[in-house]
Structures are given as structure tokens and as C-alpha cells.
Amino acid sequence: MIRAIVPTRILRRWDQIAIAQLAQAAVRMSDELAELRETLYRTEDAAQFWSEQAMGMQLAMCEEQGGSPGITKSGQLVVVKQ
């Protein structure tokens, strides 16, 4: 079997290059993670807002029509007459 002999200084240089590449990737991934977390928080806030708006409108309709809140199998919010 033939083995390539690589001088130690070349191996050290390759290690330095690999460490630099890993550090760059870690910074890039950290930035991306921060952006994704911010997007997630904004999305959750928006979903909560619209959920509250929908429930508020349904309850207002229930009061106007004298019924109770209900939901169909397809997910439609309805007023159930009592």
C-alpha cells in the first residue's frame, strides 16, 4: 500500500482553513436562526391576533342573534340557535 506523506505544516494549515470555514458557517447559521425565530414570533402573534378577532366577531354575532357559538365539521364558525 502506498501512503502519501503530508508535511505537518500543511496539515496545520488545512486545520486552520477548516476552523475558519466552520466559524463562518456557525456565524451564518446563527444569523439565520435569529431571523427564523423572529419570523416565528411574528407569525405566532399574528395567528393569536386573528384567532381573537374571529372569536370576538363570533361572540358578537351570538349576542346579536341570541345564540351560542358553534363550529361545523369543515371549520366554519356559526351561531347555534337555542
Taking residue 59's Cβ as centre, other Cβ atoms within 10 Å add up to 14
Tens digits of residue pLDDT in 30-79:
999 999 999 999 999 999 999 999 999 999 999 999 999 988 999 888 89
Task: Give the model's pLDDT for residue 2.
Answer: 65
pLDDT for res 81: 86
Q: Cβ contacts of residue 68 below 8 Å, gap of 6+?
A: 62, 79, 80, 82
CB 20 within 8 A of CB 31: no
* pTM for this predicted structure: 0.63
Q: What is the pLDDT of residues 3-33, one digit of tens each?
A: 677 788 888 999 999 999 999 999 999 999 9
Indicate the residue type of 38: E
Cβ-based neighbours of 65, under 8 Å, separated by 6 or more: 79, 81
